[in-house]
Amino acid sequence: MIAATAFRPPAPQPRETPLGLFGWLAAVRRNPIETWTQAHYERPAIVSWRPSGKRVLVSDPAGVRRIFLDNAANYRKDDLQLRLLRPQRGNGILTAEADEWRAQRRLLAPMFTPRQIGAFAPAMAEAARQSVERLRRRDDREIDVLSEMARLAIEMLNHTLFSSGLSCEADEYRLAMTSYFNTVGRISILDLLGLPRPIPRGGRAVLNWFCRTIDETISARRKLIASGVTPPRDVLTLLLEMRDPETGQGMPEDVLRSNTVTFIGAGHENTANSLTWALYLLSQSHHWRDRVEAEVDAKLNAGPKETLVDRLPVTKAVLDEALRLYPPSAILTRTAISADEIAGTRIEPGMMVTVAPFVLHRHRKLWDRPDEFDPTRFLPGNRERIDRFAYIPFGFGPRVCIGMSFALHETIVALAHLTYAFRFELKHGHVVRPVHRITLRPQGGLPMILQPRRPTNEV
């Protein structure tokens, strides 16, 4: 039924045979998602030997469940992942382990309940509306969608999680994030060998800028609270007010800083990338673009902002399919603490265990036409047939991304407003190539042509 409208978005062609050591090292440095072979997309588990030791890639849903849920305590975040994340984000909820992680999770969970996310809905809509108006005022219709979505994501944060604004301009933060992913976020040979590495050139200045910006943002909020003015009920205020339900203590200063950076970094990056990939995919499928436009035209202003997402099943299905093809975290790694067995494979203590959503979401044994863009699979009635452990764009289990529901909600709201106001067409001749830099982004940005769908005075 959809063969005439389906297309295959760009992705590295799976290799027939594994790379040799030096070829593998070069590919990991260049773009880790280029290392997978055809067998990785067809078998439930594959063991390999690399400089850092023996490792296994698991793509069996039962195995994924065991790693992230049933036996999650046996699989800690591995040293490579922590090395890439801790320089920017410290030991916050993203990188903490064991009791330290559980304490932080207890503190932060109340901020992301459905009720709390619903309370943010009007602010999300206002941020999206302002971004649309900013894009309308541009003289140049050619834009880099990745940069523009990064700016929109920062504006979303400034309206919701940090409603007094961050202590920097949106473009300043966007440029700093790009520099971070191109320096600190690149894997080096030292990382793969498990050896210490200096922070790359340019990375230290970026990290110092992050620390200074976060400290200024927190300090400004504390001064506001101390002045007696009622602070905005956003995530930063909640972080400052929170007390552990068991100990009654607040969040330690270093943990507060780390989690503030985590919510800014992860909240910005996931939303910006998800929007970028969704807009690209719609530009390549007129069938689905027309369906999304018809839905948002009919329903964007047909009810309260708090229930907008519930009114947009087609738009949500497009986003879900974008997250399947281009998951924000393309590779998730763990280290086994004790021996185990997964998909018939013996797991030894200290062994690196990898679940790659980029591979899992395109696995030949789990998906029909896995390389094609087909949001039909996520429409009501079809989504229920997808194995819950074959689709994990935000991870799963106790350590699933705590802001997942928030990120999905704000991304759908933004996508609805953008497609209501504009059409986005890929710049002629531009070749899109996904590249892994901690998250999955289009290499070199995404130049597109902005085409207004409505008069300037109509939001």
Better pLDDT: 87 or 45: 45
pLDDT of residue 238 exceeding 90, the answer is no
Q: Percent of the chain having pLDDT more than 70?
A: 86
AA identity, residue 304: P
Tell me the mean pLDDT in the region 356-371.
Answer: 97
pLDDT at site 305? 87
> How would you label 392-426 residue by residue, b for 16+ Cβ within 10 Å and e otherwise?
bbbbbbebebbbebbbbbbbbbbbbbbbbbbbbbb
Whether 45 contacts 58, CB under 8 Å: yes
pLDDT at site 26? 86
Tell me the mean pLDDT in the region 398-415.
Answer: 88
Supply the angle between the helices 404-421 and 286-299 in degrees, to the nearest 10: 90
pLDDT at site 261? 75
What is the per-residue pLDDT across 313-357, written as a single tens digit (0 to 9) for each?
999 999 999 999 999 889 998 999 999 999 999 999 999 999 999
> Backbone phi, then psi, for 412, in 5-degree steps?
-65, -45
Residue 189 and residue 28: Cα distance in Å, rounded?
A: 9
pLDDT of residue 433 exceeding 90, the answer is yes
Residue 124 and residue 270: Cα distance in Å, rounded?
A: 15
Whether 262 contacts 96, CB under 8 Å: no
Residue 242 and residue 255: Cα distance in Å, rounded?
A: 12
> Backbone phi, then psi, for 335, in 5-degree steps?
-120, 130
Q: pLDDT band at 3, cuts 50/70/90?
A: very low
Tell me the mean pLDDT in the region 13-23.
Answer: 89
pLDDT at site 25? 82
Instruction: Give the pTM.
Output: 0.88
pLDDT at site 182? 63
Residue 395 and residue 406: Cα distance in Å, rounded?
A: 15
Supply the angle between the helices 145-159 and 253-284 in degrees, to the nearest 10: 140
For residue 196, the SS3 value is: coil
- For the ranges 12-16, 213-217, 239-243, the lowest mean pLDDT is seen at 239-243
Better pLDDT: 402 or 147: 147
pLDDT at site 282? 98
Residue where the block lists tokens 């998250």: 439
What is the per-residue pLDDT across 196-212, written as a single tens digit (0 to 9) for each?
555 666 667 777 777 78
What is the per-residue pLDDT across 150-197, written as a single tens digit (0 to 9) for each?
889 888 888 887 777 676 676 776 677 666 666 655 666 555 555 555
pLDDT at site 255? 78
For residue 455, the SS3 value is: coil
pLDDT at site 200? 62
pLDDT at site 4? 46
AA identity, residue 263: F
Domains identified in the chain and CATH numbers: 21-452 (1.10.630.10)
* DSSP designation for 307: G
What's the chain's average pLDDT? 85
Q: pLDDT band at 1, cuts 50/70/90?
A: very low
pLDDT of residue 393 exceeding 90, the answer is yes
pLDDT at site 14? 93
